Structure 1
Amino acid sequence: MDPVTTDTVAQGGHISIWHLVWQASFPVQLVMLGLALASIWGWAIIIEKFFAFRRMNAANDRFEQSFWSGQSLEDLYLALGNRTNIGLAAIFMAAMREWKRSQDAAMRAGFQGVQKRIEKVMDVQIQKEMHDVESRLLFLATTGSAAPFIGLFGTVWGIMTSFQAIANSQNTNLAVVAPGIAEALFATAIGLVAAIPATIFYNMYTADAGRIGARLENFADEFSAIISRQLDERV
């Protein structure tokens, strides 16, 4: 075992984290680096999704307030036309664009099929919105499930290396054994640090995405009923 490691334990009374990283074997260092990068990227996704979900819910609240305020669909369509719309507003705009494209043909050939096309357009737009909502959540799920096992691999490798060093030095003194074992266990610790928040926020955001999806579906059903009533009045 490296005498510098032994001196660090004996004189310092503790093992520096940076010392554990630099003294670890190359495979364990790769494991630590990969898990650290996964943790950083995971937190970036967590923060980005926090603001994205907050922005989506706020936009949906504003749109519903305008939609049910009593103003005409045409006025609302014109008001939203120059904006970058997300969520319910994007579904409404997609449906209204299809409605306007279908009006001329419907006047000539009747209104059969118009509602189905509008419903199809809304379904497609819902899928697009949910794709944006759920993007990168798979990384959190993968990190939460795989990071502990990757860290465990680094631990097993580090312990094997420590036992080989003990066998070569024929010295089982705790000051000699402890640094190598600490290096190995540190890989598991990093794996847990990456996995725990990823799992927690993945479950939380998945539930939030489910609620947003249900809200989009409910609005599409309600708007489809409104379109159906208007079509019936024109027949």
Structure 2
Amino acid sequence: MLFAEISIFDIISQATYGALAGAALWGLYSATVVWARVNQKRFKSEDEQDVFMDDVEQMLKVGDFEGVAEYSDGDNRAIPQIVEMAMHHRGLGYKRARQFVLDRFQRDVMSDLEYRLSWVSTVIKSAPMIGLFGTVFGMMGAFKTLATSESVEPSLLAGDINVALRTTACGLAIAIPLMILVANVNIKIAKMEDLVGSGLARFMTQYKEALLKWPNGGPTSPSAAAAEPVEAVMQSPPR
């Protein structure tokens, strides 16, 4: 009997509220994940990044590739991860190692951010449409009440019209704040890309010079240690 008293319009209106709530929670979650990941991947300031790059450059000048890798190990920010990957793949040569780390950065960092933002954009577009869906069925319920009742009480019409207007308002209330949040996130991503780009250009210059200067991997590496006596013998004057 209880289900017989519930109309299809009531069921759809409640389902619309549930869909709007789910969209709002998913959009907020995705935007929060992007915000946190951007903060995780970038240095707080350019000065802080410069301090890190200064230390890396000092080690690269003496060919301490392993020291650079250890210094960057465990740091989840983008530049230290790029530096660490470059150190571990220096055997590929400068060009191939550079392409490798750039591809990994694009795939592991930027693609993930774009994936999350695409979900937020989907919520922004779909929330008003879900609200409009509820509006259409609310008005259909109001017209049904008019059609099936000889004398219509205003309270019956008010309930259907209230659903129609409230769902549209909820859809807009979800989309507008998310649009503002996404705009702020895009600004943070752009700043992160600029900061990472400047740090990457600086690192790659020093990285190339270090590979040219220490082709055997630095003075502390086993290959360099093995090559040093041979070079000393070749340079020793004949007796």
Structure 2: gaps of 5 or more residues: 1-6, 216-239
Once the two structures are superposed, what CA deviation does each residue of 1:44-63 show, in whole Å capped at 9, x if it has no partner? 23333333322323478655
- Which residue does the alignment assign to 2:70? 78
Tell me the CA shift for residue 231 of structure 1: 4.2
Report the secondary structure of 1:193's partner residue: helix
Q: Structure 1 stretch 144-153 or stretch 219-228: which is displaced more?
A: 219-228
Contact 2:31 2:116 in 1 (8 A): no
Equivalent residue for 1:126? 105
Tell me what 2:78 maps to: 87
CA-based RMSD of the aligned residues comes to 2.6
Query: Aligned residues: percent identity?
Result: 24
TM-score (normalizing by structure 2): 0.73
User: 1:26 and 1:225, CA in 2 relative to 1: closer, same or farther beyond 3 A?
Assistant: same
Structure 1: 4+ residue segments shifted above 4 A: 59-63, 231-235
The 5 A counterparts of 1:1-235 are: 25-58=10-43, 62-69=48-55, 71-73=58-60, 74=64, 75-81=67-73, 83-99=74-90, 101-102=91-92, 114-127=93-106, 128-233=108-213
Deviation at 1:172, TM superposition (A): 4.4
Partners of 1:231 and 1:89 lie apart in 2 by 18
Greater Cα offset, 171-180 or 90-99: 171-180
Deviation at 1:170, TM superposition (A): 3.1
- Counterparts of 1:34 and 1:187, CA distance in 2: 10
SS class of match (1:68): helix
Is residue 41–residue 76 contact of structure 2 (8 Å, CA) maintained in 1?
no
The corresponding residue for 1:9 is none
Question: Which residue type is aligned with residue 42 of structure 1?
Answer: G
Aligned position for 1:19 = none
- Please state how far the C-alpha of 1:123 moved relative to its aligned partner: 1.1
Q: TM-score, normalised by structure 1?
A: 0.74
5+ residue gaps in structure 1?
Answer: 1-21, 103-113
